[in-house]
């Protein structure tokens, strides 16, 4: 995108102060997630530094060595602020990776279905319709119940419940683009189908895919958190925000609210910020949806 294009995009995006604020919040969260090992006050999963005697300390408490735990500690004595930083790293990583793989698969299916049509399009879209008729959480639960928990298995489950959204969006955009003159000109030049799809049709379908990708990333993060909270997602060796919430749920009735509440707040802020950015992108790329 040329400089003038970026300037116009930012001008349109900045018309919503809420979206700009959400983008800033998300960039801060992304920075924390990437550099969590360097900016965390402690390493919450280094057994040599975790002291069980510091378990369930209230926010702002200090241990015997005058170490301050600003958000308190969990049942194992881990610093909650550091655990949230590491949890953001895991949650964002799983959500982004699963979204990227689902984007590639769904876009390939959607573009191919729109371009070639025929039986392949009918079959592919019927599969998409059937999958979208089931709740995502239900499909993910079934997949993980069959294959078990684990990072790779959770990512596979998230990919399998997301790709249909990308396929539907890609097909809808490609159906419009494939009948335009530039595609007919490419066909007259005897360019290969693969080249036409990848170099001509797909670049003009990116706008709706970016919007879907943004919103689906937030959905993937929330879905992973739900699965981990239920004990079917990530293992305890890869603690996400959902797992942190689940670990602290048993202490809620004893008054140790911070073990679940603070990771829940971090998860909520992350999802809301991504959704607000996605909503503004949707309005920019499709002005007819603006209020």
Other CB atoms within 10 Å distance of the CB of residue 225:
28
Domain ranges of the chain: 83-285
Tell me, what DSSP letter sits at residue 69? E
Phi, psi of 58 (to 5 degrees): -70, 160
Spatial contact of 171 and 197, defined as CB atoms under 8 Å apart: no
Please list the ranges in the chain whose pLDDT falls under 50.
Answer: 289, 291
Q: According to the model, what pLDDT value does residue 291 have?
A: 46
| CATH classification code of 83-285 | 1.10.3720.10
Determine the Cα–Cα distance for residues 254 and 81; give it in Å rounded to an integer. 21
Of 15, 91, 97, 84, nearest in space to 45 by CA? 84
Spatial contact of 77 and 54, defined as CB atoms under 8 Å apart: yes
Determine the Cα–Cα distance for residues 12 and 175; give it in Å rounded to an integer. 27
Whole-structure pTM value: 0.90
Q: Share the mean pLDDT of the chain.
A: 90
């Amino acid at each position: 995108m040329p400089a003038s294009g970026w300037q116009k995009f930012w001008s349109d995006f900045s018309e919503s102060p809420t979206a700009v604020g959400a983008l800033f919040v998300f960039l801060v969260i992304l920075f924390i997630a990437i550099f969590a090992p360097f900016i965390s006050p402690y390493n919450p999963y280094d057994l040599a530094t975790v002291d069980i005697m510091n378990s369930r300390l209230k926010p702002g408490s200090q241990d015997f060595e005058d170490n301050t735990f600003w958000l308190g500690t969990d049942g194992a004595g881990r610093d909650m602020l550091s655990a949230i930083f590491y949890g953001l790293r895991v949650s964002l990583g799983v959500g982004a990776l699963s979204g990227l793989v689902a984007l590639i698969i769904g876009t390939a299916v959607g573009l191919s279905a729109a371009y070639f049509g025929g039986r392949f399009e009918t079959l592919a879209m019927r599969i998409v319709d059937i999958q979208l008729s089931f709740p995502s959480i239900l499909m993910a639960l079934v997949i993980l119940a069959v294959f078990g928990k684990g990072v790779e298995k959770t990512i596979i489950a998230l990919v399998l419940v997301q790709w249909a959204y990308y396929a539907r969006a890609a097909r809808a955009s490609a159906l419009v683009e494939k009948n335009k003159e530039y595609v007919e000109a490419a066909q007259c030049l005897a360019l290969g189908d693969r080249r036409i799809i990848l170099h001509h049709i797909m670049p003009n379908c990116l706008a709706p895919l970016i919007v879907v990708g943004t919103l689906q990333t937030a959905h993937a993060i929330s879905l992973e958190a739900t699965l981990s909270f239920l004990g079917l997602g990530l293992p305890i060796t890869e603690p996400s925000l959902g797992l942190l919430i689940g670990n602290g749920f048993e202490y809620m009735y004893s008054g140790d609210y911070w073990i679940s509440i603070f990771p829940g707040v971090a998860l909520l802020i992350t999802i809301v910020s991504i959704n607000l950015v996605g909503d503004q992108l949707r309005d920019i790329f499709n002005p007819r949806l603006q209020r």
